[in-house]
Amino acid sequence: MTNYHTATVAELSHALHSKKVSSVELTRHFLDRIAAHDRRLNSFITVTTEQALAAAAEADRRIAAGQAGPLTGIPLAQKDIFCTEGVRTSCASRMLDNFIAPYDATTVQRLNAAGMVMLGKTNMDEFAMGSSNETSYYGPVRNPWDLDRVPGGSSGGSAAAVAARLAPIATGTDTGGSIRQPAALCGLTGLKPTYGLVSRYGMIAFASSLDQAGPIAQSAEDAALLLQALAGFDPRDSTSLDRHLPDYRAALDNSDNTSPLVGVRIGVPQEYFGDGLSKGVHDAIAAAIAAYRKLGAETVDITLPNTRYAVPAYYVVAPAECSSNLSRFDGVRFGHRCQDAVDLMDLYKRSRGEGFGAEVKRRIMVGTYVLSAGYYDAYYLQAQKVRRLISDDFRRVFDGQQVDVILGPTAPTTAFRLNDKTSDPLAMYLSDIYTIAVNLAGLPALSMPVRPVEGLPVGLQLIGNYFSEAQLLNVAHQYQRVTTWHRQIPQAYAK
């Protein structure tokens, strides 16, 4: 194996443990690819070359001593929203351009403990606010499948890096679709876990009741491997859930059964196939549904009537929480501070005005408005009631109709062109129309690539009941066993 970047994490793990390659060799290979290709993609904010090579050397020692796990020595990219001790953690904002984190997020700690090698921190929408990775202080990320198109957001840097095989796997965060939507637009497998399954400690908060970390990977098997390391109770996160974890990789059925999904009921919501869904995406999803029937699954027509309220409810709840969370960035304790402030109020105003970009300011203003005394009941309280109705829709389908998985498109179109929607925030917000409801309900969901349209990736979304990640991953894995869409690499980055 010489083209290491064409291999999955599972394949690289086997190569490392069988001594066909060292972690240092693997790490140098991916660092060289970053140096060769990322100038065009802009997927990384910080590349941690020295730390990566030191971690790789330590991983090789662990492998030689027989103390390695399945992820030991595997390079990865971390989204620049996770605090990383001694490394700039910017959230792609001028506000934190000079912030060196004094500690590791739990996500970083756990992957370090697993022996993984961090290549660097990836670009993103500023403070995770965006659907195209165009709000970054460091400039937009470009989609490896077409450099004139967006990679999706907010985890666009992570998705672009994995799609171009500058890293074999990456972390992302998902507040309203920010793992799944870029995974869809870049032809990857992205998993948003059940809320509370992965610790949020050290993950810089956007909307605390919605944010969740997860893997952006080439395959469901790779996502299962990373989730195994990420998931688990953390006493430092008050929303972290203490429960038994399954072996996610072992739950993947690799038997020779030609109908491995017999008995699995897949719900197909009528609301996900109406106006706004492009014909090409519709047809690609329909072909995938037919493939699932061949694998033995039963499809069931369902309805999620409150889906149409998901976007307006989200854009009340998320900005409200953003307004509260971002109030800590005041130019006093850390982050950007304006020059020559005349008094404390001037320091606050100019530091925040200079430090935040337009989209972040827009959401802070909306959030402050809906939380204000005269409008709290009319907006924020109503949005929380709608949130409950959306959750009840899912509960009725999963529990009442005994559906195991819900299937639909991840995004209504393939990747759109850069600057197409930057002047129309509402059009941009509708990019997440199929993903937002999942975050409002706290459910797990996965996006994986299906048949492309005009050379651009299409994502299929699978939504599961609470803590059904093992089943979701297996349902995706069975499709990937009989297709090769997840193995496709943009031609410019294949060699």
pLDDT of residue 401: 87
| Residue 345 exposed, middle or buried by CB count within 10 Å (0-12, 13-18, 19+) | exposed
Q: For the residues 37-58, what does the mean pLDDT come to?
A: 98
For residue 2, is pLDDT > 90?
A: no
Average pLDDT of the chain, as a whole number: 97
139: tokens are 């400039």
Query: For residue 272, what is the DSSP state?
Result: G
Residue 426: pLDDT band with limits 50, 70, 90:
confident
What percent of the chain clears pLDDT 90, i.e. is strictly above it? Answer: 96
Candidates 83, 402, 49; CA nearest to 236 is 83
d(CA 63, CA 59): 6
d(CA 293, CA 155): 32
Residue 58: pLDDT band with limits 50, 70, 90:
very high
**With contact defined as beta carbons under 8 Å apart, do 73 and 166 qualify?**
no
* Structural element, H or E, at residue 216: strand 213-217
pLDDT tens for each residue of 207-265: 999 999 999 999 999 999 999 999 999 999 999 999 999 999 999 999 999 999 999 99
Q: Give every CB contact of residue 46 below 8 A, 6+ residues apart in sequence.
A: 80, 87, 88, 90, 120, 121
* Structural element, H or E, at residue 458: strand 456-464
pLDDT of residue 421: 94
pLDDT of residue 410: 98
pLDDT of residue 325: 96
pLDDT of residue 430: 87
pLDDT of residue 461: 98
Instruction: Look up tokens 């992820």; give the residue.
Output: 71
Region of poorest pLDDT, from 75-79, 117-121, 141-145, 333-337: 333-337
Instruction: Look up tokens 């990019």; give the residue.
Output: 431
| Residue 321 exposed, middle or buried by CB count within 10 Å (0-12, 13-18, 19+) | buried
Hey, what amino acid is at 205?
Answer: A
Q: Give every CB contact of residue 90 below 8 A, 6+ residues apart in sequence.
A: 45, 46, 80, 96, 97, 99, 121, 137, 138
Burial 390-401 (b: 16+ CB within 10 A, else e): bbebbeebbeee
Expressed in angstroms, the distance from the first to the final Cα of the chain is 13
**Catalytic sites, residue numbers:** 79, 154, 178
Q: Give every CB contact of residue 25 below 8 A, 6+ residues apart in sequence.
A: 4
256: tokens are 């020779």
d(CA 105, CA 240): 14
Radius of gyration of the chain (CA): 21
pLDDT tens for each residue of 279-308: 999 999 999 999 999 999 999 999 999 999
**With contact defined as beta carbons under 8 Å apart, do 173 and 139 qualify?**
no
Region of poorest pLDDT, from 247-251, 317-321, 420-424: 420-424
237: tokens are 């996160």
d(CA 246, CA 470): 7
pLDDT of residue 425: 87
For residue 1, is pLDDT > 60?
A: no
Q: For the residues 316-345, what does the mean pLDDT come to?
A: 95
Which domains are present in the chain? 4-261+469-485 (3.90.1300.10)
| Residue 326 exposed, middle or buried by CB count within 10 Å (0-12, 13-18, 19+) | buried
d(CA 110, CA 199): 10
Instruction: Look up tokens 């694998």; give the residue.
Output: 295
pLDDT tens for each residue of 360-419: 999 999 999 999 998 999 999 999 999 999 999 999 999 998 999 999 999 999 999 999
* Rounded alpha-carbon distances, angstroms, from residue 233 to 39, 142, 152, 195, 244: 38, 36, 30, 12, 9
Strand order in the sheet with 170-173: 44-47, 117-122, 75-79, 170-173, 213-217, 189-192, 445-453, 456-464, 405-409, 265-269, 298-302
